[in-house]
Amino acid sequence: MSPSDEKMWSTLVHVGGILFQFLPALIGYLVLKERGPFVRAHTATALNFQLTLLIAYFVGSLLSIIGIGLLIMLAAWVLNIVFSIMAAVKSNGGWPYEYPMSIRFVR
């Protein structure tokens, strides 16, 4: 895969996380992980972040009975938008990016 294709797919995986949560990162990781080190690093990073957000959404939904869960889910939603855009910009520029506050499930 050419470097420009790797940057394009990495950017799409990060932006796809805004709309479709963890699915673009999971599909991108499974399909593209052998295509190059750059796209592998970005898809793994995006998948780790989206799985961390999935946990935050689950905890938020459980705690929504108390009321604080809605704040947790709102914060996770905002963080998803902000950090996914930052990651997409970095990957489009050819730079590595690590999401803050992300649990590392996939290496």
Distance CA 57, CA 34 (A): 30
Number of domains in the chain: 1
Per-residue pLDDT tens listing for the chain (107 residues)? 899 999 999 999 999 999 999 999 999 999 999 999 999 999 999 999 999 999 999 999 999 998 899 999 999 999 999 999 999 999 999 999 999 989 999 98
Q: What's residue 71's pLDDT? A: 96
In a domain, 15, yes or no: yes
Backbone angles phi, psi at 94, to 5 degrees: 90, 15
Residue written as token pair 């989206």? 50
Quote the domain boundaries for residue 10. 3-92
Backbone angles phi, psi at 16, to 5 degrees: -60, -25
In a domain, 31, yes or no: yes
In a domain, 24, yes or no: yes
